[in-house]
Structure 1
Amino acid sequence: MPDTSLGNRIAALKGAAWKALLRFGENFAYMVAGLPMALRRMFRPRPTLALPPAEYLHRYYAWSYWRLPFGVLKGLVAGLAWFLALPIAILIFTRRNSRAIAARSGVSITAQVLGQVEMAARFAIAPFWYYMFELYLPDRKKQAALYLTAHETIGPAYSLLQPPPQSDGMDDKIWFAEHCHEQGVRAVPVLMHFARGERQPLKGGSEILPEGDLFVKPRSGSGGHRMERWDFIGQSRYRNAHGEVLTAEELMAKLTRQSLKDDFLVQPRLSNDPALDDISNGALATVRLLTCRNEAGLPEATNAAFRMAIGNSVVDNFHQGGLATAVDLNTGVIGIASDIGIRPDVGWRDTHPVSGALFKGRTLPHWDQVVALAVKAHEAFPERIVVGWDVAMLPDGAMIIEGNGKPDLDIHQRAERGPAGQSRIASLLAFNIERAEQTRSR
């Protein structure tokens, strides 16, 4: 029987309230950061495909911004928040980065502060992105208008292009795993599901924890948050990255308690192809491969970035401190790598910071399979326009880890050391937005 005690119900409500608060905070932050872009194009006409792709997307964002319910009122609120938040953000990121960047690039601290103000006011590029995209460098600054930020992609662009939730549940990892299995797409399975304080029935799931290494993650989580690895050490015992050892019964009890606040899944822990051993810390390394439907309606691979975990991290997520490098789509060759770039510590490197192994110029294993599998996976989701696929390279080939229906372009613009506004993905996004708007207006 489900545990319906008052304490458990309160815990579940707190978990739901916290997730709702995080969603609101993210959306509000995007609305504030994007205000200058919306203001600069406030009185310009609706965009057309005659515009360059980056300008189309910028103008579509502005057009959508003022179409929101209470758009002008929200703009006033966002304006007040912008003037309050910008100095704080500049202070935080300047203190964190400015001295090291000044020594590395020759750009003074004063110039960096003024640069952050200019980028935020002219191009809606917040201090976070100023350092990520290295806009203190003269050649990058000249291209500032071509960068695509999360408020315009994850905001109105992707929102317009989402399929009806009743026909596509990609954000639900259980639905995703079952759908991939039914469509013959090789994807990581789900072994167990815990929710509302108990283990839930699962199609093809396990009754007991398997004697093997496991990976625990939230059912609808993203960004590598609250994920945990449990290695099987024998005698029905498992150990996590912090050295905690639990029996199978104790681990299931822990997951049951955790599930009062959120759904959690258990999946098998996967191992990298041995060719990647010297550039990983043992955590699974993946490729983020972007596919988008082209003018013929077919999925097309447009960008790829290879991600490596460093330190004690159990995930390779770029926003959790991992390294990323651009991948040549045709050859699978990788280049120099860096972290997300909002701290000056890592910089750009062609060798792994721990092992010293060279990764610049290396060819990733199973590359043809990686690209083909991502395209095949997109074909299995006919109503999806754009997807960011996380693909692992295992000893026996490629495997889909998950699909991201609203993939941000930060990792690609950072790893490729240049803006996406003139690239194939920008052209395809503009094309699909225009077609969706025309369909909606009929």
Structure 2
Amino acid sequence: MPSNGLGLKSRLGYLAERARRINVGSVIERAKKASAQHGKAVPAVVVDMLWSAGRHNVGFQDYIDYDFAILNRAERATYMTHPVSNQISERYAHPDFRHLFHDKIEFDEKFSEFLRREWMVVKPGNADELRDFVQRQGTVIVKTPMGQAGSGVFRYHAADITDWEAFHAELLGKGRLLVEEVIRQHPDLAAVCPGTVNTTRVTAFFDGEKTHILAMAQKFGRGEVSDQMSFGGFYTMLDDDGHAVSAGYDSHGHVHELHPDSGFRIADFQLPLIDEVKAFVDQVARVVPQVQYVGWDIVVGPDGPVLVEGNWGAGVYENKPSVSGIRTGHKPRYQAAIKF
């Protein structure tokens, strides 16, 4: 296992790269948003954003998403940020095993017993197999093997396909090679948004003996093929018992007290089978112990948790003070488990 600490070298390298790629216009635009929302002067916010980035590893979007403009120094110190998370990912994911999480086909092969759904790979010459699979399922999810953040995910209906050879050629030509059965979600999730499979992001760290659950976020879709923000999705943080701690929100400034389509009050949401979810995360975290820090996307089905994917670049989901009223984040939990 890697030694403790994130290391000065990786941090300095990250800061140098950020400085090289900084987009001043983007920083100012974000500062204007914070100024309008929190009544702070734009120049002061710009200076604070740059200082926070350089001194405290706070991403510019983190600053906006987690309302740093209204937090004091002690409160800010409790928040996980994407730069820190990225450093943890680099340190605690052995390079020789990252491909198992990058490539969705390799992931499905490695974690097949936890998928709890059928799947197949489009290859030259298997148009008949594809037709049989899609017709049997009725509707399927098709993915490009290397897509991320919801990109490269598509939904097809058997009833819409008339030429199976052409359909097979289209998928093959566009690199849409992974075909999966649609996941059935628990009625409590379908009550919020039945048209999208709503995933639970469980960020966890496996220390070689114990799996530490660091944060849980519940994502909700808008009827699209994915619940990612690029498809109009949003999230709320969950407490240790799986209960929503606030209304929903995203990185585009939208706040959802109620789900826009179903009218469900987001703060009333309770993730079903929470104990089973925690046990499930412990199981999947042990499959590739060389990748210790993972953001697991899980769907609670009618009969238990189902694995969607694992992200070795775990990302960050955190409380938003202006929505939740909670002015502290999850970083102490990360520090207790990872010792940085």
Bin of the TM-score, shorter chain as denominator length: 0.7 to 0.9
Normalising to structure 2: TM-score of the pair?
0.83
Report the counterpart of residue 56 of structure 2 in structure 1: 123
Q: Is the 8 A contact 2:216 2:238 kept in 1?
A: yes
Report the counterpart of residue 213 of structure 2 in structure 1: 301
Query: For 1:336 and 1:313, how far apart are their aligned partners in 2?
Result: 23
* Poorly superposed stretches of 4+, deviation over 6 Å: none
Give the 3-state SS of the residue equivalent to 1:136 in structure 2: helix
Is it true that 1:64 corresponds to 2:10 in the alignment? yes
Residue 277 of structure 2, aligned match among 370, 379, 390 = 370
The offset of 1:252, in angstroms, is: 1.9
| CA displacement, residues 9-65 of structure 1 (integer Å, 9 cap, x when unaligned) | xxxxxxxxxxxxxxxxxxxxxxxxxxxxxxxxxxxxxxx96xxxxxx54xx2x3334
Is the alpha carbon distance of 1:154 and 1:413 closer, same or farther for their aligned partners in structure 2, counting shifts above 3 Å?
Answer: farther
Query: For 2:338 and 2:158, how far apart are their aligned partners in 1?
Result: 44
Is the alpha carbon distance of 1:214 and 1:174 closer, same or farther for their aligned partners in structure 2, counting shifts above 3 Å?
Answer: same
Residue 309 of structure 2, aligned match among 389, 392, 402 = 402
The structure whose RCO (Cα within 8 Å, separation 6+) is larger is 2
Query: For 1:168 and 1:250, how far apart are their aligned partners in 2?
Result: 31
Report the counterpart of residue 120 of structure 2 in structure 1: 191
Query: For 2:216 and 2:283, how far apart are their aligned partners in 1?
Result: 16
Query: For 1:392 and 1:105, how far apart are their aligned partners in 2?
Result: 36
Residue 276 of structure 1, aligned match among 185, 189, 206 = 189
Is the alpha carbon distance of 1:149 and 1:401 closer, same or farther for their aligned partners in structure 2, counting shifts above 3 Å?
Answer: same
Query: For 1:165 and 1:189, how far apart are their aligned partners in 2?
Result: 28
AA paired with 1:144?
R
Q: Is the 8 A contact 2:57 2:83 kept in 1?
A: no
Please tell me the root mean square deviation across aligned C-alpha atoms, in Å: 3.2
Identity of aligned residues (%): 20
The offset of 1:149, in angstroms, is: 3.0
Q: Write the mapping of 1:198-209 to structure 2, written as runs, cut at 5 A.
A: 198=124, 208-209=132-133
Is it true that 1:412 corresponds to 2:306 in the alignment? no
Is the alpha carbon distance of 1:426 and 1:231 closer, same or farther for their aligned partners in structure 2, counting shifts above 3 Å?
Answer: farther
The offset of 1:135, in angstroms, is: 0.9
Query: For 1:91 and 1:122, how far apart are their aligned partners in 2?
Result: 19
AA paired with 1:185?
F
Query: For 2:307 and 2:24, how far apart are their aligned partners in 1?
Result: 42
The offset of 1:126, in angstroms, is: 3.8
Give the 3-state SS of the residue equivalent to 1:170 in structure 2: helix
Give the 3-state SS of the residue equivalent to 1:325 in structure 2: strand
Q: Is the 8 A contact 2:215 2:330 kept in 1?
A: no
The offset of 1:108, in angstroms, is: 4.3
Gaps of 5+ in 1: 1-47, 50-55, 239-245, 432-442
The offset of 1:168, in angstroms, is: 7.2
AA paired with 1:170?
F
The offset of 1:215, in angstroms, is: 0.7
Gaps of 5+ in 2: none
Normalising to structure 1: TM-score of the pair?
0.65
Whose Rg is larger? Answer: 1
Give the 3-state SS of the residue equivalent to 2:158 in structure 1: strand
Report the counterpart of residue 228 of structure 1 in structure 2: 154
